[in-house]
Amino acid sequence: MSVLTHEARGRTGSLAWLLVLGIVLAALNLRTAVTSVGPVLDQISTALGLTGVTTGLLTTLPVLCFATVGVVTPALSRRVGEHRLLLLALVTLGVGMLTRSLVDSAAVFLLSSAVALSGGAVGNVLIPTLIKRHFPRRTGVMTTVYTTALAMGTMLAAAATVPIERATDGNWHVALGVWAALAAVAALPWLVLLRSEPARDTGAAALGPRALVRSRLAWSVAAYFGTQSMVAYVMFGWLPQMLLDKGYTAGQAGVFLAVFTALGIPVAIVVPMVTSRFADQRPVVAAFVACYVVGFAGLWLAPDATALVWVIVVGLGMGSFPLALTLLALRTRTPEATAALSAFGQSAGYLIAGAGPLLVGLLYGATGGWTLPVLLLFAVVTVQLATGWYAGRDRYLEDERV
């Protein structure tokens, strides 16, 4: 019997490590379809003849796909199975990225981008669910693994696309197509994991969108996720312009943005492991809001020469992103509830976030300065504090519905 027990433990251990590998590889891919386009957007626009409207649609597609496809992911997973659906999502992601790298049609490029982003949207919702199901006692550690891999993939696609394009004599097709190969590699562990598909709990359908719409906790999580994403989108989109207006060169602004992005990796390593050890996350919520307030005030009022200090402080505040992902598991008891909250929170959150860069652009364009945009950011983080304070308290979605 001891031999059988040892063999069973060995199989279980092998499965756990394969799941870890599968989650890491999948997370590396979830943002490559987004961040690989920006660095070569000028070349793509010229080659495909994109108008201002189509370029705007292309940059808005991530928010639209993450919101619309994410909300139906729990229903799809109940029909297809979680492992099968994540495999299909990675295949969809890879096919979409490969297709758009081969075409010379603006319409097909937009359509295939939407296909790729839809695969990423499914992964956004599914991975927190898989962590809750397979690693219920190590949620913090596995969320750290997930968010770190997500941050690394985001930075890798943003940083490596231009060097690849230059190495191939300015061929943006190759620079975008490379990321489809990474998606193919990520699919391999999930081919093996098809044999260990979790049983589907059709009874979880009660936690659908209608039920969550009536939940204060679900709305608090969604608003917290949305406000932190809004700050991130504003910083990625408008920080370079703010720095240019302060007298920095384009090269310096690029370095500052790279520092801001790179901070996401150590923050993603620390935040989930630390916050998951406590039942109440409200002090962490307040700490990140304080970083935002100090950082934005510094960028607005402090001497221009100190901008890097305030960029770093705001970058520390971006720990609100891994915290938001950790809350999806901490505020639920079951994987099915995690899936429902993940879908609702991320879908509603991304819709909220999408308005941020547009509003900042309108305010900046109307005034030519940063006073109103920064005041808007203060208002956003005030909402983040209020919603995070409610979501950070020790409570569970299932209990609220009783």
Tokens coding 185: 């590699």
pTM: 0.86
Dig out the tokens for 21 from the structure: 């590998």
3-state secondary structure labels for all residues of the chain? CHHHHHHHHHHHHHHHHHHHHHHHHHHHHCCHHHHCCHHHHHHHHHHHCCCHHHHHHHHHHHHHHHHHHHHHHHHHHHHHCHHHHHHHHHHHHHHHHHHHHHCCCHHHHHHHHHHHHHHHHHHHHHHHHHHHHHCCCCHHHHHHHHHHHHHHHHHHHHHHHHHHHHHCCCCHHHHHHHHHHHHHHHHHHHHHHHHHCCCCCHHHHHCCHHHHHCCHHHHHHHHHHHHHHHHHHHHHHHHHHHHHHCCCCHHHHHHHHHHHHHCHHHHHHHHHHHHCCCCCCHHHHHHHHHHHHHHHHHHHHCCHHHHHHHHHHHHHHCCHHHHHHHHHHHCCCCHHHHHHHHHHHHHHHHHHHHHHHHHHHHHHHHHCCCHHHHHHHHHHHHHHHHHHHHHCCCCCHHHHCC
382-386 LR contacts (CB < 8 Å, sep 24+)? 383/223, 383/227, 384/223, 384/224, 384/227, 384/228, 384/231, 384/285, 384/289, 384/292, 384/320, 385/285, 385/286, 385/289
CB 349 within 8 A of CB 299: no
Using CB atoms within 10 A of its CB, is residue 131 exposed (0-12), middle (13-18) or buried (19+)? buried
User: In the block, which residue shows the tokens 């030519």?
Assistant: 368
Which fold would CATH assign to domain 17-195? Growth Hormone; Chain: A; (1.20.1250)
Residue 12 is predicted with a pLDDT of 64
Nearest to 370 by CA among 235, 227, 245, 248: 245
- Cα separations (Å) of 256 from 36, 80, 197, 319? 19, 44, 44, 18
Residues of the chain short of pLDDT 50, as ranges, are 1-11, 203-205, 402
The pLDDT assigned to 190 comes to 96
As annotated, the residues of the chain forming the CATH 1.20.1250.20 domain(s) are 17-195, 205-402
First to last CA, the chain: 44
CATH superfamily of 205-402: MFS general substrate transporter like domains (1.20.1250.20)
Considering only CA atoms, which of 257, 239, 352 is closest in space to residue 296? 239
The encoded tokens of residue 195 equal 């044999």
In this structure, is the dihedral angle defined by the CA atoms of residues 393, 291, 329 and 267, taken in order, positive or negative? negative
Tokens of 70: 């994410």
CA distance 225 to 387: 9
Q: Cβ distance 64 to 8 under 8 Å? A: no
Residue type at position 55? T
